[in-house]
Amino acid sequence: MPVLLAPWALIALAALAVPVLIHWVRRSERQEVMFAALRWLGRANRPRQQRYLHDLPLLLLRLLLLATLALLLAAPARESHGEPGSASVLVSPAIDAAAARAAVAAPTADWRWLAPGFPPLDAPRPLPSPPASLIREADAQLPRGTRLTVVIPQTIDAPDAGALRLAHAVTWTPLPGPSPAAEPARPPPPLQLAIHGAAGHADSLRVVRALAAAWRASGREVRLDETPAGPPASDTALQIRLDGSEPDAATLRWVEQGGRLLVTAAGRTSGVVVLADESGRPLLYEAAVGRGHRFSMPAALTPAAVPALADPSFPRRLLAALLPAPASAATAEARQLQPQTIEPAPPGPYRPLAPALALAAALLFLLERLWASRRRSAAA
Amino acid sequence: MTVLIPPDVRARLKSLRLSTRLTPAGQGLGQHPSRSRGAGLEFAQYRAYEPGDEPRQIDWKLYARSDRYYVRDATRDAPLALWVLLDASGSMLQADRARPAWRRFDAAKLLAACLAELAVQQGDAFGLVVLGGAAPRGGLDGLPLGAGPRHRDRLRIALDRLACGGALPDEPSLRPSLARIEPASLVVVLSDFFDDTPVTLAERLAAARREVLTIQLIAADERDFPFGGGHRFVDPEGGPERLVDAEAVREEFLRRFAEARAGLARRLAGAGIRHVEYVFDAPPDLPLRTLFDPRGAAG
C-alpha cells in the first residue's frame, strides 16, 4: 500500500493558495467596455467589491497540478511484494555450485552467488567476501514474501559483531566446505631492534636484553643491534634511545615514514598514555609523528625507576603497546550465526512511485497550458 | 467588407426624394427648381415688369388683355449638389454589446451609401468629406463631386478604404476641406455629435447658405445604459478610464445624456438645421424617411 517517505514535504500544499488568490478577482476589473459617451458618466463611487472565482475549470487544473507536485516532493512509494512462491538461494563462493544445487531442492528459485552485486550462479565463482553484510543487503533488497535460502560453509570467515536479524525467514544451510582457515598462517616477521645510547646505560641495556629474552620465550624472534651506525635501516621495527636524547633529522624522517621510536628517560613526553602500572601511574606515552609513532618513557628503563618491570606480564604488555599485532581473522561457527527473524516484519523494500507521478504532472501541465491559451484566444 | 445596401432597404429608398428648401444654383439640367429665370422649359409665373428685365420676355398677349407689362417667368431645372460629411473619429468605433461587429462607423457608411443611391436615382451630384479618421492627410480625405452610377461605385470603394479612430481636429483646421461645398448645396452630416467640432461646422455651413441636415447616430447601449455591476469604461478616443458601478450611475447618465441631446437639437434648430436622431440598430432608411419622404410631414 502506498506510503509517503517524506510526509513533512506535504507542507508544499500551502502553495495551493496561490492559484486561488489569482482567480479570486473582482468582476469589474475583468470587464472592459468601450463607451464613447464617457463624458456624461458621473464621477461615481467605486464599484461594489464583488469578488468571485473566475474560470473554475482552469483553477481546478492548476490546483491539481500543484497537488501532484507536492505529492512528488513527499516521495510516495509502494512496498514491493514479490510474486507468491518466489524463492531466492544465495550460495557462498566458498561452496561449490554443484554441491549447493544438490543440497538445496529449489530448482525454480533464483540462484545467486553471495558476493557483491549478487551475480547469478552461472557466472564464474567470485572471490570470497565477508558474508554477513551481504546477507543483510540481500534481505533488504528482496521483496517481502520471498523465501530465502543461504548456503554457507560451516566455518564463516570474518563475521561482524552484530547478530544477523533479518526480515525474511531464512533457511540456513551450512555445508561442509573448505574452511578459510586452511591457509597456513605466516609466522610474524622477526623484530629488529636498534638500540642507541647503550654506552653509559649498562643497566638499561641489561633490561632491554631481558625484555628481548622474554619476547623470544613467547615465540617471537628478536634481534638486537646494540651499536647501530647511521640512520635506522628500513627493516628496523623499533629504535630505542636509552639516553633520552632526541633523534637526528634522518631518524625523524624514518619515524615519519612509519617507524617507531622509544625514548626512555625522556625529558619531554607527549601524547596519550598507553601503559600504566597497577596504581595507575603512567609509564609509557605514545604520540603520532607523521605515519610513525614516538613512544616516550619519563623514567629510565631500570628496575629502580620502573618498579613495574618486575611484573611478569610486563614484557607482553610492553610488546603489545609498542608493536600491536594485526587483528587476526576471526572465524565463527555457522550454526552460531543462525539469523533471527524480526517480528513484526519491518516495512519492506520500497518501489518509488515518482516516475508515474512525474508523468502525470507533465500531462497536467500540458493540459493547463492548452486550456489557458485556448480561453485567452476565445475571449480576444 | 463592401458597404452593401440590403435589398429591402434599397426597395424602400426608391420612394424617397432628395429635396432642398434652398434653390440650387447649379448649371445644367436637373430636377430641382432653380433660380435661373427667363426663357426656359416650364412656365412658372407672370411677374410685373421691372426696369432691367429683358424686353423680349414681356408677354404681349397679356399686355393686350390687361394693358400692363408682365414678364413671363420660366423655370429651368438644375441639379442638386449633395455633400456627405462623415465623422471618422474614435467615438465612431462604438458598437452595441449585442452586436459588436456593427459599429457606429459602419452604420454611418451605410447611410452615406444610401444617400448616394438617392442622388443617383435623381441624377444629382454627390461628394464625400471625411472628418478626422486615421487617414494620413487628416480631414482632407473624401470624394469630389460627381454624378452617375460610376461615381457611386467610386464612393463605395472610398468608403471601404476608410478607417476611423483618433480625435477630431478642431474646427478651424477643418475649414479648408469645406471650401469645396458650394452655396445652396445640400449637406448631410453623419456623426455622434459628442464633440463640439461637427456642431460648429454644421452651424457655420448653415449660416453660409448651405442647407444642412444632421443625423445623430446613437448606440442602443447609450440610449438605454443596460449595464449592470462594476465595469471599466474606456473612451475609444483615449482619455482616462472610469471604474464605476453601473447601476449607481445609470439614472444620472440617462438624465445628462438626454439633456445633452435635447440641447443639441435646440442648438441645431436654432441654426436652421434639420436634425434627426438615429439609433443605429434600426434599418438605415428610417432617418432618411424622416428627412426626405415627399409625402410625409417632414417634406
pLDDT over threshold 80, residue B295: no
What digits encode the pLDDT tens for the residues B47-96?
888 888 777 778 888 889 989 888 877 665 667 899 999 999 889 999 98
The answer to whether the beta carbons of residues A321 and A211 sit under 8 Å apart is no
Q: What average pLDDT does the segment A97-103 reach?
A: 81
Better-predicted residue by pLDDT, A45 or B188: B188
B21 pLDDT band, cuts 50/70/90, is confident
B140 pLDDT band, cuts 50/70/90, is low
**By three-state DSSP, how is residue B173 classified?**
helix
pLDDT over threshold 90, residue B265: yes
Contacts of B222 in chain A (CB under 8 A): 35-37
User: Is A46–B245 a contact, with Cβ atoms under 8 angstroms apart?
Assistant: yes
Residue B60's H or E segment, with its range, is helix B60-66
User: Is B245–A28 a contact, with Cβ atoms under 8 angstroms apart?
Assistant: yes
Nearest by Cα to B210 from B47, B84, B93: B84
Left, alpha or beta for A290 (phi > 0: left; psi -120 to 50: alpha)? left
pLDDT above 70 as % of chain B: 86
- The pLDDT score that the predictor gives to residue A48 is 62
Nearest by Cα to A360 from A54, A61, A51, A50: A61
Contacts of B93 in chain A (CB under 8 A): 34, 36
Better-predicted residue by pLDDT, A332 or A222: A222
Chain centroid, CA B268 distance in Å:
13
Cα dihedral sign, B107-B109-B112-B116: negative
pLDDT over threshold 60, residue A155: yes
Q: What's the CA gap between A344 and A252, in Å, rounded?
A: 60
What digits encode the pLDDT tens for the residues A39-57?
888 776 665 666 777 788 8
Q: What's the CA gap between B193 and B271, in Å, rounded?
A: 15
- The pLDDT score that the predictor gives to residue B262 is 95
A378 pLDDT band, cuts 50/70/90, is very low
Q: What's the CA gap between A150 and A173, in Å, rounded?
A: 6
The answer to whether the beta carbons of residues A114 and A152 sit under 8 Å apart is yes
Q: What's the CA gap between B135 and A371, in Å, rounded?
A: 40
User: Is A32–B231 a contact, with Cβ atoms under 8 angstroms apart?
Assistant: yes
Q: Which of B230, B242, B260 minimises the CB distance to A26?
A: B230
Q: Which of B239, B245, B252 minimises the CB distance to A38?
A: B239
Contacts of A29 in chain B (CB under 8 A): 230, 232, 243
B298 pLDDT band, cuts 50/70/90, is very low
How many angstroms separate the CA of residue A379 from the nearest CA in chain B?
Answer: 13
The overall average pLDDT reported for chain A is 80
A26 pLDDT band, cuts 50/70/90, is low
pTM of the model: 0.51
B4 pLDDT band, cuts 50/70/90, is confident
User: Is B231–A37 a contact, with Cβ atoms under 8 angstroms apart?
Assistant: no
User: Is B244–A26 a contact, with Cβ atoms under 8 angstroms apart?
Assistant: no
What digits encode the pLDDT tens for the residues B194-242?
999 999 999 999 998 889 999 999 999 999 888 877 778 888 887 788 8
Q: What's the CA gap between B143 and B126, in Å, rounded?
A: 9
Residue B264's H or E segment, with its range, is helix B246-270
Q: What's the CA gap between A358 and A177, in Å, rounded?
A: 51
* Cell reading at A80: 514491493
Tell me which of A127-136, A204-213, B29-38, B108-117 is least confident. Answer: B29-38
The answer to whether the beta carbons of residues B174 and B139 sit under 8 Å apart is yes
Tell me which of A75-84, A87-96, A184-193 is least confident. Answer: A184-193
Which class for A373: exposed (0-12), middle (13-18), buried (19 or more C-beta within 10 A)? exposed
Proportion of chain B in helix, strand, coil states, percent, rounded to 5: 40, 25, 40
**By three-state DSSP, how is residue A36 classified?**
coil
- The pLDDT score that the predictor gives to residue B24 is 55
Residue B219's H or E segment, with its range, is none
In the Cβ-directed half-sphere of B144, how many Cα atoms lie within 13 Å? 1
pLDDT over threshold 90, residue B266: yes
Q: Which of B104, B235, B252 minimises the CB distance to A35?
A: B235
Give start and end residues of each alpha helix (H) in chain A. 17-23, 27-30, 56-73, 97-103, 131-141, 202-217, 249-256, 314-322, 354-379
Residue B55's H or E segment, with its range, is none
Tell me the DSSP string of A140-174: HHSPBT-EEEEEEESEEES--SS--EESSPEEEEE
Proportion of chain A in helix, strand, coil states, percent, rounded to 5: 35, 25, 40
Contacts of B253 in chain A (CB under 8 A): 37, 40-42
What digits encode the pLDDT tens for the residues A256-291?
888 888 888 877 778 888 888 888 888 888 888 888
* Cell reading at B270: 436654432
* Cell reading at A379: 475571449
User: Is B243–A36 a contact, with Cβ atoms under 8 angstroms apart?
Assistant: no
Place of cell 629474552: A213
Contacts of B91 in chain A (CB under 8 A): 36
- The pLDDT score that the predictor gives to residue A369 is 92
Q: What's the CA gap between B299 and B292, in Å, rounded?
A: 6
Q: Which of A32, A36, A44 minimises the CB distance to B244?
A: A44
Amino acid at B100: P
**By three-state DSSP, how is residue B183 classified?**
coil
* Cell reading at B92: 465612431
ipTM rounded to 2 decimals: 0.73
Query: B99 — contact with chain A (CB < 8 Å)?
Result: no
User: Is B257–A40 a contact, with Cβ atoms under 8 angstroms apart?
Assistant: yes
pLDDT over threshold 60, residue A82: yes
Better-predicted residue by pLDDT, B109 or B17: B109
A182 pLDDT band, cuts 50/70/90, is very low
Q: What average pLDDT does the segment A208-213 reach?
A: 88
Place of cell 563462493: A93
pLDDT above 90 as % of chain A: 7
Range with the largest mean pLDDT of A232-241, A291-300, B20-29, B278-287? B278-287
pLDDT above 70 as % of chain A: 88
* Cell reading at A108: 525454480
Contacts of A48 in chain B (CB under 8 A): 229-230, 245
**By three-state DSSP, how is residue A47 classified?**
coil
The answer to whether the beta carbons of residues A164 and A339 sit under 8 Å apart is yes
- The pLDDT score that the predictor gives to residue B274 is 92
What digits encode the pLDDT tens for the residues A310-362?
888 888 888 888 887 665 556 667 766 777 777 777 777 788 888 888 999 99
* Cell reading at A250: 634522518
Q: Which of A32, A40, A48 minimises the CB distance to B232?
A: A32
**Mutation target vs A (from B216, B231, B250; most A CBs, 10 A cutoff):** B231
pLDDT over threshold 60, residue B137: no
User: Is B230–A45 a contact, with Cβ atoms under 8 angstroms apart?
Assistant: no
- The pLDDT score that the predictor gives to residue B74 is 64
A62 pLDDT band, cuts 50/70/90, is very high
Contacts of B232 in chain A (CB under 8 A): 28-29, 31-33
pLDDT over threshold 80, residue B99: yes
Cis geometry, peptide bond prior to residue A344 (ω within 30 degrees of 0)? yes
Q: What's the CA gap between A282 and A275, in Å, rounded?
A: 6
Query: B228 — contact with chain A (CB < 8 Å)?
Result: no
Contacts of A41 in chain B (CB under 8 A): 233, 242, 244, 249, 253
Q: What average pLDDT does the segment B15-29 reach?
A: 67
How many angstroms separate the CA of residue B226 from the nearest CA in chain A?
Answer: 12
Tally of CB atoms within 10 A around A175: 19
Q: Which of A29, A36, A41 minimises the CB distance to B249?
A: A41
pLDDT over threshold 50, residue B299: no
φ, ψ dihedrals at B185, nearest 5°: -85, 165
Q: Count interface pairs A-B at CB distance under 8 A.
A: 97
User: Is B233–A36 a contact, with Cβ atoms under 8 angstroms apart?
Assistant: no
The overall average pLDDT reported for chain B is 84
Four-CA torsion A150, A153, A157, A163, nearest 10 degrees: 40
